[in-house]
Amino acid sequence: MPQTSGAISLDHDTPELARSYDEAGLVQFRHGKFLIGPLAIKSGEHVLDIGTGTGRLAEFVAGLVGPNGQVIGIDPLAGRIEIARLRQSDNLQFHTGRAEDLSRFDDRQFDAVYLNSVFHWIADKSGALREIHRVLKPGGRLGLNVQDPSRPHQSRVLLRQAIAEAGLADHRQDSNPVLGLTDGELRPLFVAGGFTDYRSELRALTDVHADANSLLRWSEASAFGNFLEAFSPAEREQVRSAFARLVETKRTPEGLILERYLRFAFARKASAGN
């Protein structure tokens, strides 16, 4: 999901973006399933989905925990939670909320917590990890995936090229950072948060988009209104036009094939007595 500013605002989200995100959510859902597998979620467990969006992955996890388990999804964007609640069931609930403040939840409430393409958006990462550690049971598992600045998505590389071709690179300087973390940055955060058995892996994931417009729509929705926000409307159209032309170089008979690179990281809260 290309972003265009280090100062991320949640105020740019709209009901239309939320609907677009849900419609295009299969991209994020596929990546999330790679995250859920290693967490080995079992029937009867209690799981917290932080940054649940419109709840597609949480609904999948609710099927894993079964009727005796529970999944709770939280997201700071009320419009996305409104859509997620259409998926609500006896073992699946949704609330507005932030990773940095999990005060609605008890200590040691969850067997597993996950954040699917969310952690890089969180400003207070250390605070979020402390809260996650608090609400996990002893031995509880944490899984997340993030962008890695050392390996930008192919769409981001093309976006930078489009900005340069539009003659706007100097104008905007570097307001398009990769909001992610390397393994060397993640590990000490996990350790400081009290987690053990940390491991991470950078994975290449293939996305297929029908055309440039669908890719742009997904980028805008997944960045909840911050995509190209640093530019004026006229400049934005210049960049979009150049980006659409460049991304066509990735066309195949199946559609536009682009690789995304995500770092998957896992750890656990130490068991009692360890």
> According to the model, what pLDDT value does residue 152 have?
83
* Sequence-ordered strand ranges (E) for the chain: 46-50, 70-75, 92-96, 110-116, 136-147, 195-209, 251-252, 255-269
Model confidence at 224: pLDDT above 90:
no
Higher pLDDT, 10 or 249: 249
Residues 165-221: tens digit of each pLDDT: 888 876 554 444 557 899 999 999 999 999 999 999 999 988 888 888 777 776 666
Please give the model's pTM, rounded to 2 decimal places: 0.81
> Can you name the residues that pair with 201 across neighbouring β-strands?
264
Model confidence at 65: pLDDT above 60:
yes
Q: How many residues does the chain have?
A: 274
Model confidence at 123: pLDDT above 60:
yes
Query: What is the distance between the alpha carbons of residues 207 and 27, in angstroms, rounded to a whole number?
Result: 7
Residues 236-252: tens digit of each pLDDT: 888 888 888 988 888 89
Query: What is the distance between the alpha carbons of residues 41 and 69, in angstroms, rounded to a whole number?
Result: 10
Q: Which CATH number fits domain 15-269: 3.40.50.1360, 3.40.50.2000, 3.40.50.150, 1.20.120.450?
A: 3.40.50.150
